[in-house]
Structure 1
Amino acid sequence: MKRFLLALMLLSITILAIAQQKEKGDLQIGIQGGASLPISTYKSIGETKIGYYSGFFVDKYFSGNKFGLGVDARYIYNSINLQDTFHFENGYISTDYINKSRFQDYLFTFGPSYKYAVDRFHVETYIRGGLMMQYFPEYIRSVTYEERDPTGGSLIHTQDIMSTVNDASNRANSWAGIGGLRFNYMLNKHFALFGHVDYVQAFGEKFGSKSSRFAIERVEETNPIGETTNVKTVWDHYGDVRETKQTPHKTIQAGIGVKYIFGSKKSPAVKEDNRPKYDDEVKKIALKDLQIVVKDKQTNLALSGVTVSIEGTDIHDRSVTDASGQASKVSSIKPGQYQIVGEKNGIKTPILTLTETDFQTSSAVIFKEIYHDDPRFTLIGETFDCATAQNLAGINTVLTHTGSKVNASQTSDAEGKFIYQLDAQSDFTVIANQQGRYSQTEIVSTKGLDRSQTLYVTLKLGVCELVENGEWVLKNIHYDFDRSDIRPDAAIILDNVVAVMKQNPTLRIELSSHTDSRGNDNYNLKLSQRRADSAVDYLVANGIARNRLVARGYGETKLLNNCRNGVNCSEQQHQENRRTEIKVLEY
């Protein structure tokens, strides 16, 4: 097949060269390279990453230099996302890569071109069709877990959950096509630099008698396996029907290159002295400074932390806005056309285009505002030391959406700050997740907030050291009246305790429950013991050894204020006594 492609390519070039002798249009040859971006099923099923490509092309334009024919030959390489081994309570999920973990393709295409030229700038559009030789990765993903039997022994089970199911050679051929644009700048009448972007796709399910698509066989995950999951059987977590998924090659390719135009004919885009038309007149407009300010569209507040990019005549500037929303001032820029865009949290502002008209003012500074439109709220948090109240750097924090249970993590910076984006009308919890330390589970909510009035939500997250005999009250843990069941909102708080216990395996604690003075003293003592027992049972059910936990109900015996029996107190004073505490017994 490689010899066939080579012969076809040489034949096409020969035909174009012969046509050059008979037609007055340009013959050009170029080399190119750049990024290969997988999309759609090629990215999801193939698990492909951004790769690269290289190649060359030949175009023959006919009389008038607008329409022509061209050939394109490319080598395309996309590696795949290598999956690390994931360990759970009694086993692991691993991937065995049998051959090279990449997609490798050789592409040869032929088809029409169209060119539009203004001065030194040419825009070409093209569409090609031809053959693609494909080389696929081969791998198997499996779940391995240990099963304990009643005698105290164990059995190791391994079950495949995904595998590639291609031809034994992991090769395939297919029809393929390219369509794209090439943007050229003529250095002189023979050489040009260009950038281009195009779309590449393979077509058809078979080529001859063989499949032409990459294929995997897998079972769908029905119950995700987490780090604390104890797998009893794979089929508790995966379906029992194996399905086959296929995908053709689909990539967006963007790159740069250089080309050479044959012939002695002067390019219509270049004058005798090889200067563009717009250089014929000396510009009399003075150089100016450029100041960009970014604001939040919904609140009109100045927005910091926005990356502002300015691209134009001899300028490729990038800076980050400060607290007043200002990007770095760009000094003494030439009149011309510039494109300006800001980006923060993966969302870009609309592109602002400056033209020479913007330079025709008496002001020495061109001042422009651009607006960033992110419908989310911004949480600005600080981690601080419980003992010293000083901000702490390098603390890992975890934000959890209480509805979807989706987690995000971030480490506080040198000033102890961390930033998250919050969806509207949602509740979240924030904790510190650091060995040797603990924090309360803080609750943050955007419910009831108006995004047009509010941009920032703030939080100070206390982080305390674990020390023997240390005590703290668990915030935001509640029980229903006269009940000891663990409510869903209380479970979220106890999950933080589980994480602290797992990060610190030598930690042993007392978990105690307290009531206010209202009601029968003996009943309060029993109710608090049941609540403490329920909390400990929850921790044990989530993987914490019972011998590391002590449940203690104190009823109303350890009041924090003077609200004893017979004393008239407010509800807020009684609430102070209704609490759940943790005491470090050993560490």
Structure 2
Amino acid sequence: MKRFSLALMLLGLTFLAAAQEKPRGDFQIGLQGGASFPLDTYKKIGETKTGFFGGLFLDKYFKGNKFGLGIDARFIQNGINKADSFMFANGNIGTNYKNETRFQDYLFTFGPSYKFTKNSFHAEIYVRGGLMMQNFPEYTTTLTYSNPLSTANYDIKYTVNDASNKANSWAGLGGLRLNYNLSPKIALFAHVDYVQTFGTRFGSKPSRFTIEKSVEHTPIDPKVGIKGGYLDHYNEVRIQENTLHKSLNAGAGIKFIFGKSKKATEPIKNEPIVETIKPQINKKDLQVVVKDKQTGLALSGVTVSINGNSLNEKSITDVNGQAQKMVSIAPGTYQIIGEKNGIKTPLLTLTDEDFKTSSSVIFKEIYHDDPRFTLVGETFDCVKGVNLASINTVLTNTSSKNNISQTSDVQGKFIYQLDAQSDFTVVANQQGRYSQTELVSTKGLDRSKTLYVTLKLGVCELSNGSKWVLKNILYDFDKSDIRSDAAIILDNVVTIMKQNPSLKIELSSHTDSRGNDKYNLQLSQRRAEAAVNYLVANGIERNRLIAKGYGETKLLNRCANGVNCSEEEHQANRRTEIKVLNY
């Protein structure tokens, strides 16, 4: 590698010398940057996303200014799609990312170029070959489940890289560059090219990104889970898959052209020689602020990357949307980009012009455009009122039934992204504890005015004799059928019962005082039995459940027969309760 880098340096110096001593063709230096689009197996197996690249090139054209040789050096980065956790009845599938979730590559190539010129426009075709230095992600996807016989963990997918997660490989580059000359010395260009690595090994090390995984033959039902064992859903023999780097790169930039030079004329006698002194550009501090594009609010939790001129820094924005302040950075070209929830901001390029202002600090704003709402929740102890850390929460879209889970952090906070015009439920899913099924909706919210939706999720411990009212469980008038919205609430009770096999409960139904006392008692009994039947139909043993209808015998307020009360006061008495009989 050292020899290869030295060869590139020597070749670049040769180009410079040729431009000075043998001015038969143009010598040009270009700065480039743009988007990198992964292709084929690199996108499928590597699970890569659209990324970015930046770098420079040098070309020396020979007599006739059509054919030449060039060097291309660039940095390419592609993030990867992070897998969401998959929760099922008696376990989950989760992925542990052990380093940065991206492919990061340094590409050095050398090869011929051809140029066609017409007026201020010219096109270049180039082919290069050389070396790519690769940095791979490392992760493991684990299947965890428990049943009455055992608790098991299986790694069903993991990366098979060198311990350093680095590799070198031979690489090729070919593309087209379209240029427009602003002056004889400066041109703007746009280009597109294809990059691919080759071979299986470089020296004594593998040169391709490789994963090993278990192939699923029968999907896991989220409600049933794994009843038997691991082999009921996955093949026993794992397979290996690997991929080369394959990407299409599209970008733009500026280049500087050094053509034929004339011999310097001797100064006229007694004529003063005017020496041009270039103004010195000083170092400056850089402050980047990220805002939500639709509301203009400062956005926290955004990962901001600043790359260029030997600087490669990442930081996360604070509550004021500010990334870490860069102090005394040298003038040059820098690329700034932010990312949150898998969505990137537009790429911002900082140039020497930004360093020519009188201010000692360069302020730059970038805008993040995620059309979803952000749910900021907190898990707290329903008795003590203090926030609880490490509580598993589950968010479910009530229309699609898709769910994702997240564990609250050390401050008891959790964050989800919510689609517009949708309804959701949020519930704690933790053995030995229970929570209400809270309803969250984005229907009727204007994304241009609202970014955050908040929720406080009370979490209580299960204990003998404890009881709670099931919120948001409703019945149609004079009916006992379980409605679809009530089924969502009872599904949470099913989960609690399965997580706590020793738990026995009484599920009771209550009415308000209006109507016939005897009829109310019968109606509440039918409703309680309907709820118990729903739990039994979803896998809960009947001997763990008691259905009890109390009618209007356990009113919570003054609204007895003949008392004039509001609808809200009557509603407080129409409830479904759970009481812990044994735990």
Would you say same fold, with TM above 0.5?
A: yes
In structure 1, what residue type is equivalent to 2:127? Y
Whole-angstrom CA distance in 2 between matches of 1:396 and 1:220: 29
Is 2:313 the partner of 1:312?
Answer: no
The SS at the match of 1:368 is strand
- Is the CA contact 2:128–2:174 (under 8 Å) kept in the aligned structure 1? yes
Match of 1:209 in 2: none
Identity %: 65
In structure 2, what residue type is equivalent to 1:530? R
Whole-angstrom CA distance in 2 between matches of 1:389 and 1:231: 38
Whole-angstrom CA distance in 2 between matches of 1:323 and 1:329: 14
5+ long unaligned stretches in structure 1: 1-23, 26-35, 51-60, 71-80, 94-110, 117-122, 129-176, 184-195, 203-217, 238-246, 256-267, 270-279
Match of 2:195 in 1: 198
Question: Which of residues 462, 475, 480 is equivalent to 2:476?
Answer: 480
- Is the CA contact 2:87–2:404 (under 8 Å) kept in the aligned structure 1? no
Deviation for aligned residue 1:361: 1.1
Match of 2:127 in 1: 126
Deviation for aligned residue 1:561: 0.4
Whole-angstrom CA distance in 2 between matches of 1:49 and 1:449: 34
Q: Cα–Cα, structure 1 residues 312 and 200, in superposed 2: closer, same or farther, change >3 Å?
A: closer
User: Could you state the TM-score of these two structures normalised by the residue count of structure 2?
Assistant: 0.60
Is 2:256 the partner of 1:252?
Answer: no
- Is the CA contact 2:40–2:246 (under 8 Å) kept in the aligned structure 1? no
Match of 2:539 in 1: 543
Q: Cα–Cα, structure 1 residues 425 and 220, in superposed 2: closer, same or farther, change >3 Å?
A: farther
Whole-angstrom CA distance in 1 between matches of 2:89 and 2:322: 50
The SS at the match of 2:377 is strand
Whole-angstrom CA distance in 1 between matches of 2:447 and 2:88: 40
In structure 2, what residue type is equivalent to 1:344? K
The SS at the match of 2:577 is strand
| Alignment map for 1:27-66 (pairs within 5 Å) | 39-40=39-40
Whole-angstrom CA distance in 2 between matches of 1:43 and 1:182: 23
- Is the CA contact 1:297–1:372 (under 8 Å) kept in the aligned structure 2? yes
- Is the CA contact 1:304–1:322 (under 8 Å) kept in the aligned structure 2? yes
The SS at the match of 1:382 is strand
The SS at the match of 1:358 is helix
Match of 1:527 in 2: 523
The SS at the match of 2:354 is helix
Is 2:358 the partner of 1:362?
Answer: yes
In structure 2, what residue type is equivalent to 1:480? D
| Alignment map for 1:484-503 (pairs within 5 Å) | 484-503=480-499
Deviation for aligned residue 1:126: 2.8
- Is the CA contact 2:398–2:423 (under 8 Å) kept in the aligned structure 1? yes
Q: Deviations over 1:512-549 (max 9, x none)?
A: 00000111111111111111111111111111111111
Whole-angstrom CA distance in 1 between matches of 2:223 and 2:572: 36
Is 2:395 the partner of 1:399?
Answer: yes
Q: Deviations over 1:427-481 (max 9, x none)?
A: 0000001110000000000000000000000000000000010000000100111
5+ long unaligned stretches in structure 2: 1-23, 26-35, 49-59, 71-80, 94-109, 116-123, 130-170, 178-192, 200-214, 234-240, 250-257, 260-275
The SS at the match of 2:339 is strand
Match of 2:113 in 1: 114
In structure 2, what residue type is equivalent to 1:440? Q
Match of 1:510 in 2: 506
Whole-angstrom CA distance in 2 between matches of 1:383 and 1:462: 6
Q: Cα–Cα, structure 1 residues 383 and 355, in superposed 2: closer, same or farther, change >3 Å?
A: same
- Please report the RMSD computed on the Cα atoms of aligned residues, expressed in angstroms: 4.3
In structure 2, what residue type is equivalent to 1:126? V
Deviation for aligned residue 1:181: 6.4
**Count of aligned residue pairs for this structure pair:** 397
- Is the CA contact 2:380–2:457 (under 8 Å) kept in the aligned structure 1? yes
Match of 2:566 in 1: 570
Is 2:554 the partner of 1:552?
Answer: no
Match of 1:188 in 2: none
Deviation for aligned residue 1:325: 0.8
Deviation for aligned residue 1:226: 3.3
Whole-angstrom CA distance in 2 between matches of 1:62 and 1:361: 37
Deviation for aligned residue 1:333: 1.0
The SS at the match of 1:457 is strand
Whole-angstrom CA distance in 1 between matches of 2:354 and 2:61: 41
Is 2:341 the partner of 1:345?
Answer: yes
Q: Deviations over 1:560-580 (max 9, x none)?
A: 001011111100000000000
The SS at the match of 1:575 is helix
Whole-angstrom CA distance in 1 between matches of 2:87 and 2:311: 49
Deviation for aligned residue 1:62: 9.7
Deviation for aligned residue 1:410: 0.7
Whole-angstrom CA distance in 1 between matches of 2:39 and 2:515: 65
| Alignment map for 1:431-510 (pairs within 5 Å) | 431-510=427-506
Whole-angstrom CA distance in 1 between matches of 2:176 and 2:247: 11
- Is the CA contact 1:89–1:231 (under 8 Å) kept in the aligned structure 2? no
Whole-angstrom CA distance in 2 between matches of 1:412 and 1:480: 36
The SS at the match of 1:400 is strand
Match of 2:328 in 1: 332
Q: Deviations over 1:464-512 (max 9, x none)?
A: 0000100000001001111111100000000000111111111111100
- Is the CA contact 1:399–1:430 (under 8 Å) kept in the aligned structure 2? yes
Question: Which of residues 402, 408, 421 is equivalent to 1:425?
Answer: 421
| Alignment map for 1:55-454 (pairs within 5 Å) | 113-114=112-113, 125-126=126-127, 180=174, 198-199=195-196, 225-228=221-224, 252=246, 284-454=280-450
User: Could you state the TM-score of these two structures normalised by the residue count of structure 1?
Assistant: 0.60
Match of 1:96 in 2: none
Q: Deviations over 1:134-170 (max 9, x none)?
A: xxxxxxxxxxxxxxxxxxxxxxxxxxxxxxxxxxxxx
The SS at the match of 1:506 is coil
- Is the CA contact 2:389–2:408 (under 8 Å) kept in the aligned structure 1? yes
Whole-angstrom CA distance in 2 between matches of 1:48 and 1:328: 30
- Is the CA contact 1:200–1:249 (under 8 Å) kept in the aligned structure 2? no
- Is the CA contact 1:382–1:460 (under 8 Å) kept in the aligned structure 2? yes
Deviation for aligned residue 1:338: 1.1
Whole-angstrom CA distance in 2 between matches of 1:48 and 1:287: 39
Whole-angstrom CA distance in 1 between matches of 2:337 and 2:400: 33
The SS at the match of 2:477 is coil
Q: Cα–Cα, structure 1 residues 334 and 283, in superposed 2: closer, same or farther, change >3 Å?
A: farther
Match of 2:184 in 1: none
In structure 2, what residue type is equivalent to 1:198? V
